[in-house]
Structure 1
């Protein structure tokens, strides 16, 4: 797939490569998600995250905590600064039409946000009956905006597939995949994508 914001160049390509490399992807994922188990990084396109996390921990950018959910990784203050700087460098070197495409993708995505929030509220109040059909209808209506997000930047390319995967779980009767934060649920992935894109927009704000 050709990504609108991943065109070859000199300084821009260097910034893009740094942000899209395993270390950059890991730092970015932790900035977006907050805390993640090592195995959850696979959906962020970080294969074999153990050595990456160990390297980042040795550099003082990532820390490990033991929680009731198991071992979780998060950013240190230096890690947050590094993740922020990687995105800022990319934004400084990106062409105006590239950042405009990303902001446009966010605007289209946000146009469906209130509808999903209402669907989730109804599900929490009324139970699981019919939620699969309602979520499928929502996904179909939002599919163009979702695909635009995936095409806008390599860091976002996993979101459409992750949302489709969550929807498939719901179709199989696994209703945890509607909202649960303990799995890659539809609402969780949607929230992460929204936060991810908002971080980019915030980076564009003077």
Structure 2
């Protein structure tokens, strides 16, 4: 079942945290959401407002009973099984000297992780269309990483890690689950510390800085942190 236009745009913002203006897939619907105060546009892109989070939660809750959640649960179980391989690979890359041979090994590990989850994810994408793009986006990141190593883990591009994190968020949100406290994105020595959920933004000086998304682990999505947290640090 395809999501209604309004819910589809809210859902993209909910799972990604921030969407750049040139990444908006339905400008007319997004403009209407802005006019209703559900979406805020700032110089970095578009984010949900607290009323937007609540509207998304309510609309998805109403729709959830019509979704084949057993298929989504299978996909999430496959994701959880593959997640340690992916996280080990991403952390190893972050801590490495970024050599070509290391990049190839990391890419192989990520391919192995994706291969273990691909069939359940593909089935979920057929049954729940908003989940369909993830396997192709992950495969595309691996292909791009052969020429541009940023596509392994960098938040500045649609990297494997960025898409993998969005996939987890989408599976959890679709199922109506909270992010587990020990899912590998928390703590002082795990992947969340090495690779925080963040986005690159213009620093106003011809460069870029990375800022945290307005929703993060341990926060209630309906009460995100201040939107001013998306402002880059002063010069």
**Structures share fold, TM-score greater than 0.5:** yes
Which residue matches 1:138?
A: 110
Q: Which runs of 5+ in 2 are unaligned?
A: 179-235
Which structure: greater helix fraction? Answer: 1
**Contact 2:71 2:123 survives alignment (8 Å):** no
Asked if 1:27 corresponds to 2:1, the answer is: no
Which residue matches 1:52?
A: 29
Moved more, 104-113 or 138-147: 138-147
**Contact 2:85 2:109 survives alignment (8 Å):** no
- Structure 2 residue aligned with 1:82, among 55, 61, 70? 55
TM-aligned CA deviation for residue 99 of structure 1: 1.0
How many residue pairs are counted as aligned between the two chains? Answer: 173
Which residue matches 1:92?
A: 65
**Contact 2:151 2:158 survives alignment (8 Å):** yes
Quick one: structure 1 residues 124 and 86, their matched pair in 2 at CA, closer, same or farther if it must change by over 3 Å?
same
**Contact 2:86 2:109 survives alignment (8 Å):** no
Which residue matches 2:88?
A: 118
TM-aligned CA deviation for residue 111 of structure 1: 0.6
Which residue matches 2:195?
A: none
Q: Which runs of 5+ in 1 are unaligned?
A: 1-5, 7-16
Asked if 1:156 corresponds to 2:131, the answer is: yes
Structure having greater relative contact order (Cα 8 Å, sep ≥ 6): 1
* Local SS of the residue matching 1:183: coil
**Contact 1:136 1:167 survives alignment (8 Å):** no
TM-aligned CA deviation for residue 203 of structure 1: 4.9
Structure 1 vs Structure 2 CA RMSD: 1.9
Which residue matches 2:21?
A: 38
